[in-house]
Structure 1
Amino acid sequence: MAIDVYTWPTPNGHKIHIALEELGLPYRAVPVDIAKGDQFQPDFLKISPNNKVPAIVDPDGPGGKPIALMESGAILIYLAEKTGKLWPQGAHEQSIALQWLCFQVANIGPMLGQVHHFRHYAPEPLPYAVERFTNETKRLYGVLDTRLAEVEYLTGGIYGMSDIAIFPWLRSWEMQGMRLGDYPHLERWFNAVAARPAVQRGIAVLADQKRTQLSDAERDVLFGARQYERR
């Protein structure tokens, strides 16, 4: 049975698309247009109470019972445990993989999201915010570059969920004020991941629906007071 993926072509959405493509699991992409406010609809909130994409409904969950999950990091771990793939087998290696997955969730996503926002979506220039988050993004790129000088993939010699989690966030490196060539080991890893057919298929999911320009109404949905309403 196919997994329903409630998603949009965002870095976090692409993480799940890529994982499912790599695993060869049947899935159905259910668009949740976050610029139109689909994420606030009651039916979606039952699946994702934090009104964020992606979320999944797996009709064949643990014990054969359906399960709904939000939070992309949790979904990646769930898919790895479901299939026994893209995740190390040994306890030591699993801990390393979890470390780098948490690094993405706690650092790469939030900080790169902020630098992207203040560089391109803030209603007025805020040089302090741009400088702060650009510098932090440079630091995080450096952390990855140092790690990848030692290993082929983030967990070690095995490509897996940690790589899948981080890759989509780095695709917009230019808009983050970065130069990928300044981080040669990271660039080597990035190009290797980008060349994978399953990654290319995952990135293509709903890509035709992504908008490069937002109307005032869409900006308000994404960044205005509606985001903070209690539901």
Structure 2
Amino acid sequence: MSHGKHFTLYSHANGPNPWKIVFLLKELDLDYESVFPDVQKGEHKGPEYLKLNPNGRLPTLIDHKNNDFTIWESGAILLYLVDKYDTEKKYTSTKEPEKYRILQWLFFQVSGQGPYYGQAAWFQVYHPEKVPSAVERYRNEIKRVLGVLESVLSKQEWLAAGKFTIADLAFSTWNGLLGFLLGSEFNFEKEFPATYKWHQKVLEVPGVKAGFEEMARISAH
């Protein structure tokens, strides 16, 4: 089967995780086509999609120029893209210990930030019963994660390797939801000033900026 684009990205209009991949694809100037399974109809849990991703979540990436190699889990996809297509290692590092510092923060994002922020969203919006203790727990976990970031970013500009990497990029989508997750009383800039400043710098990275603009256009439809 012939594909016009280098990649097919199975994505979600508002879901934070697929957009990390968009940001990096744009930064690497790699062309892709986004496909949006109808989550309301459960298409991401259907047999066709489960052949691609047995976990039934988004994103999944297919590399048509590498024998239709298919990979899922956003952190793994980011690592695949930098290993294979970031020839200048602009967004990662081959040097030790920098390489492992980047991995350390990427793993913290996918195991810490993403799940806690996601559970906060679940219990505030989607859970059929109101469970104030659960909302409080996950809001506190969000602030704990932000505190970890603040403790490091108050001393250095980027998370690792002295430059913008996939580690910084990976945090941006979920941090973009802080107003929604923590409510209007939360003041990101006041409570976590170094992390806020870093987040604003990440938002100005061209691929990230273009990705958020694309997200806004798609969400509007």
TM-score (structure 1 length as normaliser): 0.85
1:120-131 equivalence runs, <5 A: 120-131=125-136
Question: Secondary structure in 1 aligned to 2:61?
Answer: strand
| % identical equivalent positions | 35
1:132-151 equivalence runs, <5 A: 132-151=137-156
Name structure 2 gaps, 5 residues minimum: none
1:74-153 equivalence runs, <5 A: 74-84=76-86, 85=89, 86-153=91-158
Deviation at 1:206, TM superposition (A): 4.8
Aligned-pair Cα RMSD in Å: 1.7
Q: What per-residue deviation string (whole Å, max 9, x for no partner) do you get for residues 76-129 of structure 1? A: 000010123311120210100000000001100000111122122222321110
Q: What per-residue deviation string (whole Å, max 9, x for no partner) do you get for residues 10-47 of structure 1? A: 11011101110111111111112322312023221111
Question: Secondary structure in 1 aligned to 2:156?
Answer: coil
Deviation at 1:209, TM superposition (A): 4.3
Q: In terms of mean alpha carbon deviation, does 6-15 or 40-49 score higher?
A: 40-49
Question: Secondary structure in 1 aligned to 2:181?
Answer: coil
2:75 maps to what in 1?
Answer: 73
Q: Does the 8 Å contact 2:59/2:72 carry over to 1?
A: yes
Instruction: Measure, in 2, the Cα distance between the counterparts of 1:196 and 1:33.
Output: 30
Instruction: Measure, in 1, the Cα distance between the counterparts of 2:106 and 2:38.
Output: 26
Q: Does 1:60 pair with 2:65?
A: yes
Q: Does 1:6 pair with 2:15?
A: no
Q: Does the 8 Å contact 2:93/2:161 carry over to 1?
A: no
Q: Does 1:188 pair with 2:197?
A: yes
Instruction: Measure, in 2, the Cα distance between the counterparts of 1:151 and 1:28.
Output: 36
